[in-house]
Amino acid sequence: MRVRIIAVAAVAALLTGLSAASAGTQADEHTKNLTQKALVPIQADKDVKGQGSDLAFKDDLMIAGSYEGLGIFKILKGKPYVKQIGFAFCPGGQGDVSVLGDYVFFSVDSALVGPKCTTEDTAAAGPDQYGSGDAWEGIRIFDISNPAKPRWLKSIDMPCGSHTHTLLPGKKLSYIYVQSYPLSGQGTDCNYGTHRKVQILEFPTAAPTKAKLLDESIDTSPAIGCHDITTFPDRKIMAGACISQSMIWNIKDPKSPELLATIYNPRIQIHHSTAMTWDGKVLILGDETGGAAAGGGPGHEDSQTGAAWFYDVSDPANPTELGSHSYPRQPPSPGSNAGRWRWTNHNFNVIPLRNSKKYLLAVSYYMGGIAVVDFTDPSNPVEVAHYKIDPNEVQQDTWSSYWYNGRIYTNDHASQLGIGVYEFKGTTTPDTTHFFKGEMNPQVQFDGNLRP
């Protein structure tokens, strides 16, 4: 096994050199109530910057997924706000991450030669291996007990790979719901006609490396599979965005979720992302119009293109549509970047306010930057803050935007940008907002806002 780990001293030197550009520029477009505190790349190797994807959090650590492997950042109270302390070089897209104790789970949806973090195994599989279903893709497990030296432990082969995944943590047994679908011809074990499912991993909570793929799976027909699932363990429900539809399940029996409702909305082009309010009353569905391909955008709040959709799920078996919200601006045309814009709704979470009657969504829009949307009245949601980096300086491509313990953290697929740190006024202290203890995976929600 050869996992390349960036030395702490080298990472510190790299980040120091970037500190001058860490507080935004005058040309950035933003409201006064949303400020940028830091912007640092994910340094995957001495000469390689990571293309970011998703994020997870544990106490004062941020786990950053990338196409090049797993980055570990220390969250600081003051400047420079975040500091990369470790990296496990282990290429394989797209790097969706979840954390449980000292273990990180990492999604791979790229056909590779083998399961290990070696140069040989992380090479792309050839057409024969790919077409026969003999290539490797699935879930990797890392040990982060020493955050400066994250260590690959095990890989689990998943038919059709793992585009994303979602944890269902338990006291004795925990589960991972693996979401994937045929992105291209992936062989006999992954095709449009037969896959159409969410696969389930089960493992002892104290021993994740004993994870096994269950024979049981979740049928997503007629959808080809799910992209994103949110679990709500305390309420025994979960909701999935499944490309052509969204679905809500009872998860009292984690091995055999019971379908409660299916949401068909012809105005949603691609059911991509999910989240729920912390009281479990409202479900948010994100539409990734165009599948993230370059193209036009809405440009006004009344548009329903690439929108966040809000549903009353007080009775999860009978979801009721409440309203929607789209990116309200037309982006500029920065010369050579014109015609390559994409700014649909992407990954988001609900800010856990102590004023439980108020709902705020921290949301990313790819090249459109990030925003905070007030959906206290889901029939009339309103953007209350936004931040867009100057496109003439660098073309951002923000995949994830999550509030965590006083700040909004972003992960950018543009390797020049990496991790962003922002503050939204009124959500920066425990007096205004519930703070988390232990792990916070954006796709896992708990009653009471706090993990005890």
Nearest CA among 373, 374, 376, 431 for reference residue 406: 431
Note whether 331 and 341 are within 8 A (CB). Answer: yes
Give 242's contacts (C-beta < 8 A, 6+ positions apart).
220, 223, 225, 226, 227, 271
Q: What is the pLDDT of residue 187?
A: 64
* Radius of gyration of the chain measured on its C-alpha atoms: 20
Sheet holding 212-219, edge to edge: 164-168, 173-179, 197-204, 212-219
Q: Tell me the C-alpha distance between 66 and 16, whole Å.
A: 21
Instruction: Mark the ranges of the chain whose per-residue pLDDT is less than 50.
Output: 1-22, 334-339, 449-452
- The kind and range of the H/E element at 311 are strand 308-312
Q: Tell me the C-alpha distance between 52 and 64, whole Å.
A: 7
Q: What is the pLDDT of residue 71?
A: 97
- The kind and range of the H/E element at 434 are none
Which residue ranges make up each domain of the chain?
4-440
Give 248's contacts (C-beta < 8 A, 6+ positions apart).
237, 238, 239, 240, 259, 260, 261, 262, 263, 283, 313, 316, 317, 319
CA neighbours closer than 13 Å in the CB half-sphere of residue 418: 27
Q: Which SS3 state, helix, strand or coil, does residue 12 take?
A: helix
Q: What is the pLDDT of residue 91?
A: 94
Q: Which SS3 state, helix, strand or coil, does residue 430 take?
A: coil
Q: Tell me the C-alpha distance between 408 and 56, whole Å.
A: 12
The model carries a pTM of 0.91
| Letter string b/e over residues 290-329, b meaning 16 or more CB atoms within 10 A of that residue's CB | bebeebebbeebeebbbbbbbbebeebeebeebbbbbbbb
Total H helices, total E strands in the chain: 2, 33
DSSP-derived secondary structure letter, 121: T
Note whether 209 and 226 are within 8 A (CB). Answer: no
Q: What is the pLDDT of residue 318?
A: 98
Vertex 147: Cα angle to 142 and 148 (nearest 5): 115
Give 127's contacts (C-beta < 8 A, 6+ positions apart).
none
What is the greatest pairwise CA distance in the chain?
A: 58
* Architecture of the structural domain at 4-440: 7 Propeller (2.130)
What's the distance, CA 106 to chain centroid? Answer: 11
- The kind and range of the H/E element at 274 are strand 271-276
Alpha helical stretches, state H, 99-171: 127-132
Question: What DSSP line would sit under 185-247, residue for residue?
Answer: ---TTS-TTT--EEEEEEEETT-GGG-EEEEEEEE-TTSS--SEEEEEGGGTEEEEEEBTEEE
